[in-house]
Amino acid sequence: MTDRARLEHLLPFLGWPRHWGGGGLRGDVIAGLTVALVMIPQSLAYAKLAGLPPQVGLYAALLPAVVAALFGSCGQLSTGPVALSGLLVGASILPLAGGDPTRALALALLLALLSGLIQLALGVLRLGWLLNLLSVPVLMGFVNAAALIICLTQIPPLFGVSMAQTGPLVLDFAHLLIDGRMLHVPSAAFGLGALAALVLFKRFAPRVPSVPLVVASATALSAWLGFEANGGEVIGHIPQSLPALSLPPLQPDLAMTLMPAAFVVAMVSFMEAASSAKLISGRTRQAWDQDQELIGQGMGKIAAAFTSGMPVSASFSRSALNYASNARTGLSSVVTAGLILLTLLYLTPLLWHLPKPALAAVILQAVGGLLDLKVLRRAWRTNRDDGAGAAVTFAATLAFAPNIQNGIFTGLILTLALMVYRGMRPRVALLGLHADGSYRDLQRFGLPHPHPQLVVLRFDSALSFVTAAPFEDGMLRAARAQPDVRIVLVSAAGINDIDATGLYTLAGLMERFHAQGQSIAFCGLKKQVIDAMERDGLWARIAEQARYRSEQQAITALVKTLAAGSPA
């Protein structure tokens, strides 16, 4: 790697100018302006979803978005407030804030700092692979449940009704339906009208910037009809200024309380960013770096913590819009932030009459794309363990709501448990000669053993402390598979690793087989397994019976040994 390449790896924005030829610069500018029109109403809506003042969403779309773009690896990602992170932030801070808006904002800043530091540390230490421990079915179970929860929280404001928060969200929503509270007709008209317009635009005119158009129309109608004077809720005053520098409350006890939530925000928000980056890089054929993206997203969150923002992430919908608008580099995010800056300085008075039911409609339309129950059904059909993991995570997230971070922890623990459980059940098969010349599962294909005194066993897993017991059981069954078995040949191509427990088990089996007048042979052993055996001293004892490369080579030699009547 050249010095220039190393520098661009550390500072990805230095490579932007290479992509600006052939209309690339123009594409970035147009994409940035287009995304800004969507970012402004979404930022207001997602700040509201997190229980924070609306301007916090706009602040989070300024410097945090620019920092994430400067140090991220995928130029088309659009970072800022997103629905899923907004819900997680609200679930994490509101129970601790006690109804105090100032304390809620302070907690949001601390949550942004902690989650950003977690992502930054994982990226710097090249530990991004740890986030892959959460399986896709479990993640989709959580995302679907979270999307449903967001919908439940936004239906009351869509109709101008307040919902008490006294316990589990599902029960609170059920009580609201049972109470039959009267809806506010003007609010319902604005909310349902905005939602219908957004759905129709998406269905029949997907290229039209429906979100800014609908929000602008609703704001104009609200001002003209006197929606606020008739009891409707509007955004109201938004400070016409830049965000003030902020300092999160650096209290150890508070940090420890928020640390689990910070881990969930870091994990889930990066999963959303990674899914967008993978999709876009697959289409552009430009590589993206998981660890570098963790650094960019983490630094974006840290920037939010010190500029009165909230935890940010890469939005799937805005990133897709960025890519569709021909963005090539992170300059598009800088342009987006520039337009939001102008809005904060000069245009916030125009947002006073924006109806909150219209913002609820924006949220509902955005999270509708997250609901995908087909993924859960497909996971169940493919693998019952994965299906069970997705279903349990989905149910746990709903049950714990509004504390949905407990749902993702349930899914994570379940993922690790299922991984260990599957690891403890490796495939062990006895082999016979198939008509196609290969050695295959004799039980499945109804094949005979290759020789009355020889059994072939295939083990498809690493031989470790997790799988040593199943390997031992399989070997003992193989030794009894025929009345006169003298040799068990292990087809070891599937054994890609061996640890101390595996070596100990193997040595014990060799002694046991020898005492029974039997022996063990190997074929297809891999280099790393042989190296471990050599370090342990076991290789010197088995080398003569373990140098075979294929089943056929081993069987031919071993059958001659059996015919000669000598020990294998």
Alpha-carbon span 82 to 535, nearest angstrom: 52
| Chain Cα centroid distance, residue 67 | 22
Q: What is the pLDDT of residue 510?
A: 93
The boundaries of the domain holding residue 509 are 427-564
| Chain Cα centroid distance, residue 165 | 29
Whether 14 maps to a domain, the answer reads no
**Are the C-beta atoms of 464 and 497 separated by less than 8 Å?**
yes
**Residue 440, CA distances (Å) to 10, 85, 435, 472, 487 in order:** 50, 49, 10, 21, 18
Instruction: Indicate if 533 and 458 belong to the same structural domain.
Output: yes
Instruction: Indicate if 412 and 440 belong to the same structural domain.
Output: no
How is residue 93 annotated by DSSP? H
Edge-to-edge strand list for the sheet holding 519-523: 439-441, 427-433, 454-460, 487-491, 519-523
Q: What is the pLDDT of residue 402?
A: 73
Strand (E) or helix (H) holding 38: helix 24-49
Side-chain-facing half-sphere of 455: CA atoms under 13 Å: 22
**Are the C-beta atoms of 260 and 114 separated by less than 8 Å?**
no
In whole angstroms, how large is the CA radius of gyration of the chain?
30
Q: How many CB atoms lie within 10 A of CB 509?
A: 20
Whether 284 maps to a domain, the answer reads yes
Whether 22 maps to a domain, the answer reads no
Q: What is the pLDDT of residue 131?
A: 74
Q: What is the pLDDT of residue 42?
A: 92
Instruction: Indicate if 346 and 444 belong to the same structural domain.
Output: no
Whether 514 maps to a domain, the answer reads yes
Residue recorded with tokens 């390997």: 471
Render the burial of 222-237: b for 16+ CB within 10 Å, e for the rest. Answer: bbebebbeeebbbbee
What residue type is assigned to position 416 of the chain? L
**Are the C-beta atoms of 78 and 65 separated by less than 8 Å?**
yes
Structure tokens at 155: 């239906």
* Boundary of a domain, candidates 364, 382, 417: 417
Q: What is the pLDDT of residue 181?
A: 62
Instruction: Indicate if 383 and 438 belong to the same structural domain.
Output: no
3-state class (DSSP) for residue 316? helix
Q: How many CB atoms lie within 10 A of CB 8?
A: 16
Q: Is the peptide bond before 402 cis (omega within 30 degrees of 0)?
A: yes
| Terminal Cα-to-Cα distance of the chain (whole angstroms) | 53
Whether 23 maps to a domain, the answer reads no
**Are the C-beta atoms of 49 and 86 separated by less than 8 Å?**
yes
Q: How many domains does the chain have?
A: 2
Question: Along the 568 residues of the chain, how does pLDDT read in single tens digits?
Answer: 566 777 777 788 888 888 887 777 898 999 999 999 999 999 999 999 899 999 999 999 999 999 999 999 888 999 999 988 998 898 889 888 888 999 999 999 999 999 999 999 999 999 888 777 777 888 888 888 888 888 888 888 888 887 766 666 666 666 666 665 667 889 989 999 999 999 998 888 888 878 889 999 999 999 999 999 888 889 999 998 889 899 999 899 999 999 999 998 998 888 888 888 888 887 777 778 889 999 999 999 999 999 999 999 998 889 988 888 888 899 999 999 999 999 999 999 999 999 999 999 998 888 877 788 787 888 888 887 788 888 888 888 888 877 777 888 888 888 788 778 888 888 999 999 888 888 999 999 999 999 999 999 999 999 999 899 999 999 999 999 999 999 999 999 999 999 999 999 999 999 999 999 999 999 999 999 999 999 999 998 888 888 899 999 999 999 988 887 655 4
Instruction: Indicate if 449 and 538 belong to the same structural domain.
Output: yes
Q: How many CB atoms lie within 10 A of CB 436?
A: 6
Instruction: Give burial (CB, 10 Å; 0-12/13-18/19+) of 440.
Output: middle
> Helix 136-158 to helix 169-179 angle, to the nearest 10 degrees?
30
What residue type is assigned to position 467 of the chain? T
Alpha-carbon span 463 to 18, nearest angstrom: 49
Alpha-carbon span 51 to 199, nearest angstrom: 26
- Please enumerate in sequence order all residues whose Cβ is within 8 A of that of 422, keeping only pairs 6 or more positions apart, or say none: 385
Any idea what the Cα angle at residue 272 is, between residues 202 and 255, rounded to 5°? Answer: 130
| pTM attached to this predicted model | 0.81
Alpha-carbon span 396 to 155, nearest angstrom: 22
Whether 422 maps to a domain, the answer reads no
Instruction: Indicate if 387 and 518 belong to the same structural domain.
Output: no
Structure tokens at 100: 């105090």
* Boundary of a domain, candidates 395, 417, 439: 417
Q: What is the pLDDT of residue 64?
A: 96
Instruction: Indicate if 169 and 100 belong to the same structural domain.
Output: yes
**Are the C-beta atoms of 187 and 232 separated by less than 8 Å?**
yes
Structure tokens at 435: 């008509």
- CATH label of the domain that carries residue 440: 3.30.750.24
DSSP string, 444-506: HHTPPPSBTTEEEEEEES-BSTTTHHHHHHHHHHHHTSSTT--EEEEE-TT---B-HHHHHHH
What residue type is assigned to position 144 of the chain? N
* Boundary of a domain, candidates 417, 444, 477: 417
Convert 158-172 into a string of H (helix), E (strand) and C (coil). Answer: HCCCCCCCCCCHHHH
3-state class (DSSP) for residue 184? coil
Length of the chain (residues): 568
Instruction: Indicate if 181 and 100 belong to the same structural domain.
Output: yes
**Residue 541, CA distances (Å) to 507, 510, 546 in order:** 9, 10, 10
Give percent helix, percent strand, percent coil of the chain, each to the nearest 5. 65, 5, 25
Instruction: Indicate if 268 and 328 belong to the same structural domain.
Output: yes
Q: What is the pLDDT of residue 495?
A: 92
Q: What is the pLDDT of residue 223?
A: 92
Whether 33 maps to a domain, the answer reads no
Strand (E) or helix (H) holding 22: none
DSSP string, 329-392: STHHHHHHHHHHHHIIIIIGGGGTT-BHHHHHHHHHHHHGGG--HHHHHHHHHH-HHHHHHHHH
Instruction: Indicate if 401 and 481 belong to the same structural domain.
Output: no
Alpha-carbon span 169 to 402, nearest angstrom: 6
**Residue 205, CA distances (Å) to 58, 217, 555 in order:** 27, 17, 68
Whether 170 maps to a domain, the answer reads yes
Instruction: Indicate if 108 and 148 belong to the same structural domain.
Output: yes
Q: What is the pLDDT of residue 132?
A: 72
**Are the C-beta atoms of 440 and 431 separated by less than 8 Å?**
yes
DSSP string, 405-428: HHHHHHHHHHHHHHHHHHHTS-EE
Instruction: Indicate if 386 and 435 belong to the same structural domain.
Output: no
